[in-house]
Structure 1
Amino acid sequence: MQVTMTVNGESVTREIEARLLLVHFLRDHLALTGTHWGCDTSNCGTCVVWMDGEPVKSCTVLAAMAGGHDVRTVEDLERDGVLDPIQEGFMACHGLQCGFCTPGMMMTTRALLDRNPDPSDGEIREAISGQICRCTGYATIVRSVRRAAQQEQQAQQEQQAQQEQQEAVS
């Protein structure tokens, strides 16, 4: 069967088997290997991508079900050579160790910050509760998300100050 979807802003069409999982479509047909394949049971969360702006575990979605939808993977976080604050936070605060859970963790926490720009530690922990990390103990991941939230708030405040300054000059 043929499937067409938008992946990271680009329309893609491929001939696939009806039973192909989205995680395998992304990795094997589109060479987007940032999305990791872990448990195939939706327990680990390493395969999280966005479908129509919502995090989904791509090991539980058939590629055919994603047809006509907008899919975003971890490769799309970086824009024009600039890392997303989530990526910077994970690097600066050691939110990754082996890196296996990191792409799914980043996609989940990016969605969290888009909905709630100033989450509490409890809200961060709840958001990532569907992700398994065997290396970090989650403390560094929570710090990474907290740093990204603070960085985004600071950038927003600076942008607002610049706009106010421009309006005052006008």
Structure 2
Amino acid sequence: MSEVSLVVNGRKVSATVEDRTLLVHFLREHLGLTGTHVGCDTSQCGACVVHVDGKAMKSCSMLAAQASGSEIVTIEGLGAGAELHPVQAAFREHHGLQCGFCTPGMIMAATDMIRRHPEGLDEKTVRAELEGNICRCTGYHNIVKAILAASEAMAKGGAVKAA
């Protein structure tokens, strides 16, 4: 058993968990944060992406004990209260989802991508960096449009507008 202490979505949490508990299962089962999805359990699909100390990480490839002492942001913690984060708003405005299963991981990966490219993104970069996130519904076109719109809006400090 391991003692895990984290800050999750701005709230301090502690728990004793089995050593083999993955971060994704800790978030979902111990904290009830079910927006982080379990798709493959093998780091292939990206549905479980969260931010660990500000960086996008696949939470199915990290033990909860490894994350101890870290600050975690999940899809539930991304927006400010009832306000959508600009990337969430862009996905809504540009229809960047269908079934929605991959959407939390896509949004978390996109948010990190935009953070790392504050000058803006181009389509080639977005498509290359989404390689670790699988969507089986959309064909990625609207996801890429949403990320580009969010990147542009955030670089200008404005709101996301539909094309």
Deviation, structure 1 residue 154: 3.4
2:127 to 122, 125, 128: 125
Spell out the pairing of 1:127-142 with structure 2 (5 A cutoff): 127-142=129-144
Report what 1:12 is aligned to: 13
Distance between the aligned counterparts of 2:125 and 2:38, measured in 1? 26
Report what 1:44 is aligned to: 45
Distance between the aligned counterparts of 2:154 and 2:4, measured in 1? 36
Distance between the aligned counterparts of 1:67 and 1:31, measured in 2? 18
Spell out the pairing of 1:3-82 with structure 2 (5 A cutoff): 3-82=4-83
5+ long unaligned stretches in structure 1: 157-170
Helix, strand or coil at the partner of 2:88: helix
Deviation, structure 1 residue 80: 2.7
Distance between the aligned counterparts of 1:10 and 1:68, measured in 2? 12
Report what 1:153 is aligned to: 155
Distance between the aligned counterparts of 1:71 and 1:51, measured in 2? 5
Q: What is the count of residue pairs matched by the alignment?
A: 157
Helix, strand or coil at the partner of 2:61: coil
Report what 2:161 is aligned to: none
Distance between the aligned counterparts of 2:88 and 2:46, measured in 1? 17
Report what 2:107 is aligned to: 106
Q: Which amino acid in the other structure matches residue 143 of structure 1?
A: K
Report what 1:144 is aligned to: 146
Deviation, structure 1 residue 153: 3.0
5+ long unaligned stretches in structure 2: 159-163
Helix, strand or coil at the partner of 1:13: strand
- Answer with 1 or 2: which has the greater Rg: 1
Deviation, structure 1 residue 144: 0.4
Say which is worse superposed, 38-47 or 2-11, in terms of deviation: 2-11
Distance between the aligned counterparts of 1:61 and 1:153, measured in 2? 31
Please report the TM-score for the alignment, with normalisation by the length of structure 1: 0.89
User: Residues 36-67 of structure 1: CA distance to partner in whole angstroms, max 9, x if unpaired?
Assistant: 00101000010001111111111010001011
Segments ≥4 residues shifted beyond 2 Å: 153-156
- CA RMSD in angstroms comes to 1.3
Identity over aligned pairs, percent = 48
